[in-house]
Structure 1
Amino acid sequence: MITLKDYQARVLDSLRAFFRQCAREGRPEAAFAAIQLRNGQVPVPYLPVSAAGLAAGMPYVCLRVPTGGGKTLLACHAAGLAMTDLLRAERAVVLWLVPSNTILDQTVDALRDPRHPYRRALELACGAVEVMAIEEALRLSRATVDGQTVVIVATIQSFRVEDTTGRKVYDQNGTFAEHLLNLPADRLADLLPGADGKPKPSLVNMLRLRRPIVIVDEAHNARTDLSFATLGAVKPSCIVEFTATPARARHPSNVLHHVSAAELKAADMIKLPLRVITRHPRPG
């Protein structure tokens, strides 16, 4: 288990306090302002996401952590805080979005490895956990979702489509028929219909039904209108972004907590560069 650095504990303390106030009051803008004031930050307005499908009042914040500051470790703990302090649930579905297939493979491998500190942090935060890549999630049983927290790692490109034809996450898939059994009447309107007008058994409808916790790694790469419409397609319960360079212009991020390079240096997380110069021996 990796012991949290002081600055990492402060990041999570800010997120925990934000989620708890959101759970009590249902007003993320008020919680955002309160955490800024508590942390001595210059207050900036909270900007709700106005993309289609994203519910009004959905908590949406960014944790700004420099490269090398342990964003993946923090994301593991953040998923647990969203589950326990915001949703007040014993288990949840987490959609963990990464910027590339290479990072997807690395993240899945680390989160699955029982010996890896990230896996241990995830279990500490969330309890029993099943981790899978998006292709494996296409075979996800209801019993698996009902029995533990499920973390689905995907690229945003897996969902980023304007025409959903042929995209497996939106396609009809008999695996998900059992997920749609005995649906509460008040949830039917949240689900995408099939050709028969009934909710289509699909991965995206399972996600819409479960209102996933969405973690966005390297969030500065997902700032287009289409990216936010994509996030809206899964009807998240909250969005937590991680990046070293939050957006400031188009779709600016709500930076809840900012870790400085000085904090990383004080925690020995920044290593001085090592310059190696090869000197050839002089003849003779």
Structure 2
Amino acid sequence: MALALKQYQRRSLASLENFLELARVEGPESAFRKAVDDGLLDEYKPMPGLPDVPYVCLRIPTGGGKTVMGAHIIQSASRSLLERQFPLVMWMVPTSRIKEQTLEAFSDPRHPYRQELDAAFGGQVAVFDVADFSQIRPADLGTKVCIVISTVAALRVENKEGRKVYDYHEELEPHFTSSAKELEYLHRDDSGRVVASFANLLRVHNSLVIMDEAHNATTPLSYAVYERLGPRGVVELTATPDIKSSNVLVSVSAFELKSENMIKFPVVLKEHSGEWQEAIN
């Protein structure tokens, strides 16, 4: 059974959908100024290499249900910015351990995260490890929301797995129709032919990138990965955004979590001047 969203989650999602809808028409800079939470900086910082791609961050404190919100973020983006019933999504995480946990949760029909996805898209959901991208079929992209889970590091070109993302794969040829190959923004080989790569597949389908724990991904290398993938939009989720580079659209306070009973115990901070073991206790 899908979980009922908390008030702060509904507020965050409404702000995000408003931004994405405005960004589709007016561009991200104007949309951000109009949609950003009161009290937050309204100066929009374009993503390096992708200045026209909507790029925002939702600041949700730890324990606030960022991953649960993911299904609704995808749904909001599909209605507004992407204009697709079943979008193609890259779900990015900072470490292999988090990737395995997320992949396991999204693949398990009994897990609340997967139930949220199924509820949002009528059960039409396909989840892939980035290592298995060649298993995506053209029919999947027309009838299901397809979520590919990866670390940022796995997509860097100096990594062997990362190179595979940008290389030619015969299994992906059926995705590239004659009309798709005419798109100017696709990667091409030295002879000018479109490469049947996973990166090009993402570009063809105007993919959405969701970056979980995004404070670990605001580096030049991470931005280079985004640029190579050519997403239609990027949404960051983190409790601790890098305010120098991230566009914080929504900031949820710990008090909002407390009012929704998301903080189950009192948190007491006390300075200890003795042994470190005492502080841990």
Distance 1:170 1:273, change over 3 A: same
Determine which of 123, 128, 133 is the counterpart of 1:132: 128
Deviation at 1:186, TM superposition (A): 4.6
Q: Is the 8 A contact 2:156 2:163 kept in 1?
A: no
1:45 equivalent to 2:43? Answer: yes
Alpha-carbon distance in structure 2 between the residues aligned to 1:195 and 1:177: 18
- The percentage of counterpart residues that share the same residue type is 39
Distance 1:163 1:265, change over 3 A: closer
Q: Is the 8 A contact 2:155 2:161 kept in 1?
A: no
Q: Is the 8 A contact 2:96 2:151 kept in 1?
A: yes
Residue deviations 1:87-111, cap 9 Å, x none? 2211110000011111111111111
Runs of 4+ aligned residues of structure 1 deviating over 3 Å after TM superposition are 162-166
Write the mapping of 1:132-151 to structure 2, written as runs, cut at 5 A: 132-151=128-147
Partner of 2:169: 173
Deviation at 1:28, TM superposition (A): 1.6
Write the mapping of 1:180-259 to structure 2, written as runs, cut at 5 A: 180-184=176-180, 186-187=182-183, 189-249=184-244, 252-259=245-252
Partner of 2:13: 12
TM-score (norm 1): 0.87
Q: Is the 8 A contact 1:26 1:57 kept in 2?
A: no
Q: Is the 8 A contact 1:177 1:201 kept in 2?
A: yes
The count of aligned residue pairs is: 266
Partner of 2:99: 104
C-alpha RMSD of the superposition: 2.1
Alpha-carbon distance in structure 2 between the residues aligned to 1:94 and 1:177: 20
Tell me the SS of whatever aligns to 2:178: coil
Partner of 2:33: 33
1:76 equivalent to 2:77? Answer: no
Q: Is the 8 A contact 1:79 1:126 kept in 2?
A: no
Give unmatched runs, 5+ long, in structure 2: 269-281
TM-score (norm 2): 0.88
Residue deviations 1:16-37, cap 9 Å, x none? 11122223x232222211123x
Tell me the SS of whatever aligns to 1:167: helix
Alpha-carbon distance in structure 1 between the residues aligned to 2:26 and 2:247: 17
Equivalent AA in structure 2 for residue 171 of structure 1: D
Once the two structures are overlaid, the 10-residue window that deviates more, 63-72 or 264-273, is: 264-273
Give unmatched runs, 5+ long, in structure 1: 276-284
Q: Is the 8 A contact 2:155 2:162 kept in 1?
A: no
1:270 equivalent to 2:268? Answer: no
Q: Is the 8 A contact 1:62 1:256 kept in 2?
A: yes
Residue deviations 1:128-161, cap 9 Å, x none? 1111111121322222222211100001112122
Q: Is the 8 A contact 1:95 1:214 kept in 2?
A: yes
Write the mapping of 1:59-70 to structure 2, written as runs, cut at 5 A: 59-70=54-65
Q: Is the 8 A contact 1:164 1:170 kept in 2?
A: no
